[in-house]
Amino acid sequence: MEWLQIITLALLQGITEFLPISSSAHLILPAQLTDWPDQGLAFDVAVHLGTLAAVCTYFRNDLSDYLTGTVTSLRTLQRNSASEEVMKLALATVPVVLCGFLLKDWIENSLRTVQVIAGTTIFFGILLALADRRHGETQNVSFQAALVIGVCQVLALIPGTSRSGITITAALWLGLSRTTAARFSFLLAIPTIAGAALLTTLDLQQQPEPVDWLSLAAGAALAGISAYLCINAFIRLVERTGMMPYVYYRLLLGATLLIFIAY
């Protein structure tokens, strides 16, 4: 890959991974709409690891508390707030792990098209707008809410849906505050991205090709830095801006893609 493609794709991944506008769509579209070659599995793994490092860094204090609380819970055989949060995140992760393992090949072969991305970008953008109007002020994610959000996250396997978009949509629909919805969505990204990267790495083992380590390192670093900045900005501003800026972007992107398909 040329450096322009590396920089563009890395920034796209970092900026879009945690915004409700679909990072998978933004990684697929450049190769679909231009003469750029597909970036390949190795690059996908690298930029996802970059965004994983970003979200882990941002929530490092929370993760430390979760680890300490879980160890304490296992030692005393009593649940505490930290161990309950870990259990909720684990519960919400199970559906996408099972469905991702079973449906991965079908999705890769059948749904990575401009037509699918255009449709999901518009449809789930409208759902996000409706959910934003229903948001409440609830600060605590119950086990039931975690399960519903986790089941909805399965839809993010379809390109153009957006993992953060569908989980935030579900959380808002359940009456959670915007900040709580975003926070739970971003924390849920940690096991989800880690699992997806692991699965992709296993696929990569079956495709022995020369590895351009400099390109992968640059892509991971750029994706990580831009993702960290986006997480920080989104959480600070979400209560003020709401979801409508991202809804408008999704509708504009979807309409543009439909025009492209038509001509």
Per-residue pLDDT reduced to its tens digit, 22-75: 887 787 788 777 888 877 778 888 898 999 999 999 999 999 999 999 999 999
Domain count, the chain: 1
CA-based end-to-end distance of the chain: 28
Contacts of 95 (CB under 8 A, 6+ apart): 150, 151, 153, 154
Does the predicted model carry a pTM greater than 0.85?
A: yes
Note the pLDDT of residue 83. 95
pLDDT of residue 204 exceeding 80, the answer is no
Secondary structure class of 125 (helix, strand, coil): helix
Q: What does the mean pLDDT of the chain come to?
A: 90
Domain containing residue 148 = 3-262
Per-residue pLDDT reduced to its tens digit, 81-134: 999 999 999 999 999 989 988 887 787 777 878 899 999 999 999 999 999 998
Helix 3-16 vs helix 213-241: crossing angle, to nearest 10: 30
Q: What's the gap between Cα 141 and its chain centre? A: 19
